[in-house]
C-alpha cells in the first residue's frame, strides 16, 4: 500500500479540501515545494497568486491561492490560505 499524506486546505471562510494524498505541490516565498509522505517538518509562507496542487491516487486538484501558510508535520500537511479558488488543469 502506498503511503499517504493527510492534507487539509483551509481558506479564511471555510475548509476547502480535506483527504488523503500522495503528493502536494506549492510555491512558497522561498521557492517551489514538492511534499511526499515522510517529508521533514517545515513551515512556509505561500506565494501570493500561486497555485497549490494536491495529487490523490487517481486525480489532481488545484487551487489558485492568494497568500497564507503551509505547515508540514508528522501528522500531515495543512495549507492555510487567504483565499482558494479551484482551477482546471489542462491536459498535457
> C-alpha distances in angstroms, 24 versus 20, 52, 55?
10, 7, 6
**Into how many domains does the chain fold?**
1
59 belongs to a structural domain: yes
- CA-wise closest residue to 77 among 6, 14, 29, 3: 6
Q: Is the pTM of this model over 0.85?
A: yes
pLDDT at position 89, please?
Answer: 64
Residue 1 pLDDT > 70? no
Write out the residue range of the structural domain in which residue 77 sits: 5-85
Residue 90 pLDDT > 90? no
Residue 69 in contact with residue 30, Cβ under 8 Å?
no
Query: pLDDT over 70 for what percent of the chain?
Result: 93
pLDDT at position 92, please?
Answer: 44
Query: What is the residue-averaged pLDDT of the chain?
Result: 93
Distance linking the first and last C-alpha atoms of the chain: 28
Q: Which helix (H) or strand (E) holds 69?
A: strand 60-73
Query: Per this entry, what is the length of the chain?
Result: 92
49 belongs to a structural domain: yes
Amino acid at each position: 500500500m502506498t503511503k499517504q499524506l493527510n492534507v487539509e486546505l483551509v481558506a479564511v471562510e471555510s475548509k476547502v479540501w480535506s483527504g488523503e494524498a500522495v503528493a502536494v505541490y506549492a510555491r512558497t516565498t522561498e521557492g517551489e515545494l514538492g511534499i511526499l509522505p515522510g517529508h521533514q517538518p517545515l513551515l512556509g509562507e505561500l506565494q501570493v497568486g500561486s497555485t497549490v496542487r494536491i495529487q490523490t491516487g487517481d486525480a489532481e486538484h488545484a487551487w489558485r491561492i492568494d497568500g497564507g501558510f503551509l505547515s508540514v508535520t508528522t501528522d500531515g500537511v495543512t495549507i492555510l490560505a487567504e483565499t482558494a479558488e479551484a482551477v482546471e488543469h489542462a491536459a498535457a
